[in-house]
Amino acid sequence: AAGVIQSPRHLIKEKRETATLKCYPIPRHDTVYWYQQGPGQDPQFLISFYEKMQSDKGSIPDRFSAQQFSDYHSELNMSSLELGDSALYFCASSFGGNTEAFFGQGTRLTVV
């Protein structure tokens, strides 16, 4: 069965650079969630989208922005990167907001 696809899987950026992470949800899923997981930490909710509109917002820095496109894929844009942004970034998708969320394999971002 098709899963959530994230790209790239690994990304190395320098401080103050910009990064774009992409998420392709499971076919027919219309809701996308972004989570950040630091080393040895639990995933922290960043932001979610339903039908291309932002549906909820968590602890997402102002330097980050995200959107969901007409084909339901989503992109997380991260600017002015800091060392502390190094983490695993997961995308999850669901059909509507009331069903199980399935996670992608994540993007490991390293800021040097």
Partner 1 sequence: GENVEQHPSTLSVQEGDSAVIKCTYSDSASNYFPWYKQELGKGPQLIIDIRSNVGEKKDQRIAVTLNKTAKHFSLHITETQPEDSAVYFCAASRDTGFQKLVFGTGTRLLVSP
Task: Report the alpha-carbon distance of residue 59 to residue 82 in Å, rounded.
Answer: 16
DSSP class of residue 89?
A: E
Q: Min. distance of Cβ 71 from partner 1 in angstroms?
A: 20
Pairing between strand 31-37 and 87-94? antiparallel
Among 42, 62, 70, 84, indicate the residue that binds partner 1 (CB under 8 A). Answer: 42
Closer to partner 1 by CB, 70 or 98: give it. Answer: 98
What letter represents residue 23's amino acid? C
Is residue 34 close enough to count as binding partner 1 by CB under 8 A?
no
CB count in 10 Å sphere of residue 33 = 26
Q: Min. distance of Cβ 103 from partner 1 in angstroms?
A: 4
Is residue 43 close enough to count as binding partner 1 by CB under 8 A?
yes
Among 19, 68, 90, 111, indicate the residue that binds partner 1 (CB under 8 A). Answer: 90
Please check whether residue 107 is in contact with residue 39, taking contact to mean a CB–CB distance below 8 angstroms. no
Please check whether residue 34 is in contact with residue 19, taking contact to mean a CB–CB distance below 8 angstroms. no
Among 25, 31, 66, 109, indicate the residue that binds partner 1 (CB under 8 A). Answer: 31
Q: Which residues bind partner 1 (CB under 8 A)?
A: 4, 31, 33, 35, 41-45, 48, 50, 55-56, 58, 90, 94, 96-98, 100-106
